[in-house]
């Protein structure tokens, strides 16, 4: 299809080492999740999903209310909420603050929202050093790559790839043991934590009734990023807000299990405001950057806005047979897999990434594991019809549209259709293998033509 990165897809599918890396990593995640949400471990899993879906629906439908509530509670704790329409607004804010505070070094914990707006590149253009402190993200920063997966950013790299990368970029001796590789990264990163002026994190949840930013992680780097530097900036999409602290009982139970199979991640941090008098740690200044970057465009469609329910667990990627074949980098945006396929065309416009909703067999494995019950296949279908409609308006895609119009006519005129099908079945072997037929035979054999259709068989039987 037009716009499809066919070359990249073929390269990924044709690389057995990469295929094995993707397949085994996702299989591990699938197995861990299956264990953690099984009926013995979590008997009310389906009820939790329904509840999560209801809370998200309610929040997205009253987003203005909860954002204002969150903002006033952050302010009450001495923090500040900064609304940003675009990625440029985010970097302008951070640059301005860094300049005022004479900051030079930023440590960052893993955040898809900052990846979404190319945060590091924007700041580095202004000589502000930003260092990723999540191990996977740190590896990718050294390799100059974008995340391959929402939860496991370096999922496509083996420990041998990492050994080579560390030797090349850090000048250390080749080390293939993951534990020792972690120590190498830690030694470098500790220095950065101690010298950093600003810590930037994402946010998993923004709690409206308490003004808290909730972060889940396994490495402790997010907690260090929020406590060592004097300034903490959390960057989050506006859809991350939830009404009440008690709603976390639902979401925290689902997020870790869906993502990695953990009942809870190793660290769960609740951060509300800067350090108060008498407190030992915490930053002097606390900011929450609330990013739109296209999200408000999704609000008007009552069906499609459920795309904003996503809590970025990555389960849909792991279970998607298409993601498992084509990997993360063939998707046009940082959000890959089924969730990427539904949000990318909505954020960027269906004319831009129109091929994405079609890159699915509609198997439904994603919807089955989505902890907030986003109806991904239904949205893919809706987006498909929007893409064909947009093409019609632009005057393209005429051949396919004409073919379906002819097909629909034939399917509603059975006598003509059956007569033509009979003729066609006799000459099918002679057809040139181009177009869809060529595409089919590039991978597989055609089924042998039946000697007579069921219609013919029935007609003969009826007569006899």
The verdict on 97 binding other proteins (CB under 8 A) reads no
CA-based end-to-end distance of the chain:
49
- Cβ of residue 375: shortest distance to other proteins, in angstroms? 11
- Cβ of residue 300: shortest distance to other proteins, in angstroms? 17
The verdict on 433 binding other proteins (CB under 8 A) reads no
The verdict on 277 binding other proteins (CB under 8 A) reads no
- Cα-only R_g, the chain: 26
Give, in degrees to the nearest 5, the angle at Cα 324 between 262 and 41: 25
Interface residue with other proteins, options 176, 187, 249, 459 (CB under 8 A): 459
Q: Which stretch binds other proteins (CB under 8 A): 3-11, 78-86, 229-237, 338-346?
A: 3-11
Question: Which among 373, 324, 321, 383 is positioned nearest to 351, based on CA atoms?
Answer: 383
The verdict on 417 binding other proteins (CB under 8 A) reads yes
The verdict on 401 binding other proteins (CB under 8 A) reads yes
Q: How far apart are CA 180 and CA 444, in angstroms?
A: 46
Closer CB to other proteins, residue 101 or residue 456? Answer: 456
- Cβ of residue 256: shortest distance to other proteins, in angstroms? 24
Question: Which among 110, 58, 116 is positioned nearest to 84, based on CA atoms?
Answer: 116
Strand, helix or coil at 129?
Answer: strand
Strand, helix or coil at 79?
Answer: coil
Beta strands at 212-217 and 267-271: parallel, antiparallel or unpaired: antiparallel
246 phi/psi in degrees, rounded to 5: -70, -20
The verdict on 421 binding other proteins (CB under 8 A) reads yes
Count of residues engaged in binding other proteins, rule: CB under 8 A: 63
Contact string (CB under 8 A) for other proteins, positions 328-357, x = contact: -----------------------------x
The verdict on 220 binding other proteins (CB under 8 A) reads no
The verdict on 458 binding other proteins (CB under 8 A) reads yes
Q: How far apart are CA 45 and CA 35, in angstroms?
A: 12
The verdict on 46 binding other proteins (CB under 8 A) reads no
Distances (CA, A) of 361 to 22, 142, 372, 377: 19, 35, 22, 9
The verdict on 266 binding other proteins (CB under 8 A) reads no
Contact criterion met (CB below 8 Å) for 217 and 223: yes
- Cβ of residue 453: shortest distance to other proteins, in angstroms? 5
Closer CB to other proteins, residue 281 or residue 445? Answer: 445
Distances (CA, A) of 184 to 80, 152, 287: 36, 19, 31
The verdict on 35 binding other proteins (CB under 8 A) reads no
* Block residue for tokens 């950093």: 196
Contact criterion met (CB below 8 Å) for 156 and 18: yes
Tokens standing for residue 233: 């900036």
The verdict on 296 binding other proteins (CB under 8 A) reads no
The verdict on 100 binding other proteins (CB under 8 A) reads no
**Region 355-384 residues binding other proteins, contact defined as CB under 8 A:** 357-365, 367-368, 378, 381, 384
Closer CB to other proteins, residue 23 or residue 160? Answer: 23
Contact string (CB under 8 A) for other proteins, positions 306-325, x = contact: ---------------xx-xx
Q: How many CB atoms lie within 10 A of CB 76?
A: 12
Rounded to whole angstroms, the maximal C-alpha distance in the chain is 97
The verdict on 185 binding other proteins (CB under 8 A) reads no
Strand, helix or coil at 126?
Answer: coil
Interface residue with other proteins, options 20, 249, 408, 419 (CB under 8 A): 408
The verdict on 411 binding other proteins (CB under 8 A) reads yes
The verdict on 254 binding other proteins (CB under 8 A) reads no
Q: How far apart are CA 354 and CA 99, in angstroms?
A: 41
Chain residues that interact with other proteins, rule: CB under 8 A: 1, 4, 6, 9-10, 13, 23, 321-322, 324-326, 357-365, 367-368, 378, 381, 384-389, 400-401, 404-405, 407-408, 410-412, 414, 417, 421, 425, 436, 439-440, 442-447, 449-450, 452-459
């Amino acid at each position: 299809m037009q716009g499809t990165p066919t070359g990249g897809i073929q390269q990924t599918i044709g690389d057995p080492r990469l295929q094995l890396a993707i397949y085994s990593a996702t299989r591990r995640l699938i197995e861990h999740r299956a264990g953690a949400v099984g009926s013995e471990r979590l008997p009310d899993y389906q009820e939790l999903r329904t509840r999560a879906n209801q809370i998200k629906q309610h929040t997205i439908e009253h987003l203005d209310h909860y954002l204002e509530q969150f903002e006033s509670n952050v302010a009450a704790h001495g923090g500040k909420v900064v609304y940003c329409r675009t990625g440029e607004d985010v970097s302008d804010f951070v640059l301005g603050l860094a300049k005022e505070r004479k900051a030079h070094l930023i440590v960052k914990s893993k955040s898809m929202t900052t990846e979404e707006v190319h945060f590091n590149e924007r700041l580095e253009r202004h000589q502000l050093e930003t260092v990723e402190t999540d191990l996977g993200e740190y590896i990718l920063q050294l390799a100059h790559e974008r995340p391959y997966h929402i939860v496991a950013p370096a999922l496509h790299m083996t420990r041998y790839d990492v050994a080579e990368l560390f030797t090349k970029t850090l000048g250390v001796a080749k080390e293939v043991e993951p534990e020792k590789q972690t120590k190498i990264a830690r030694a470098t990163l500790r220095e950065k934590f101690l010298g950093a002026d600003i810590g930037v994190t994402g946010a998993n949840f923004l709690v409206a009734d308490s003004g808290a930013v909730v972060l889940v992680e396994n490495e402790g780097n997010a907690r260090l990023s929020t406590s060592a530097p004097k300034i903490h900036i959390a960057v989050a999409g506006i859809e991350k807000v939830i009404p009440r602290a008690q709603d976390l009982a639902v979401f925290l139970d689902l997020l870790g299990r869906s993502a990695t199979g953990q009942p809870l991640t190793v660290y769960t941090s609740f951060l509300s405001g800067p350090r108060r008098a008498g407190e030992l740690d915490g930053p002097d200044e606390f900011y929450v950057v609330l990013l739109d970057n296209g999200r408000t465009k999704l609000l008007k469609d009552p069906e499609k806005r459920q795309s904003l329910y996503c809590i970025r667990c990555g389960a849909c990627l792991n279970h998607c047979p298409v993601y498992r074949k084509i990997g993360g980098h063939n998707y046009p945006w940082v959000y890959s897999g089924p969730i990427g396929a539904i949000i990318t065309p909505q954020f960027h416009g269906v004319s831009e990434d129109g091929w994405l909703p079609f890159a699915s067999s509609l198997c439904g494995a994603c919807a089955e594991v989505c902890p907030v019950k986003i109806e991904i296949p239904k949205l893919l279908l809706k987006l498909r019809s929007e893409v064909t409609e947009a093409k019609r308006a632009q005057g393209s895609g005429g051949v396919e549209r004409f073919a379906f119009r002819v097909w629909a006519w034939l399917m509603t005129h059975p006598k003509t259709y059956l007569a033509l099908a009979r003729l066609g079945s006799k000459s099918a072997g002679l057809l040139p293998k181009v177009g869809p037929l060529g595409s089919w035979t590039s991978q597989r054999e055609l089924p042998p033509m039946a000697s007579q259709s069921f219609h013919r068989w029935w007609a003969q039987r009826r007569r006899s």
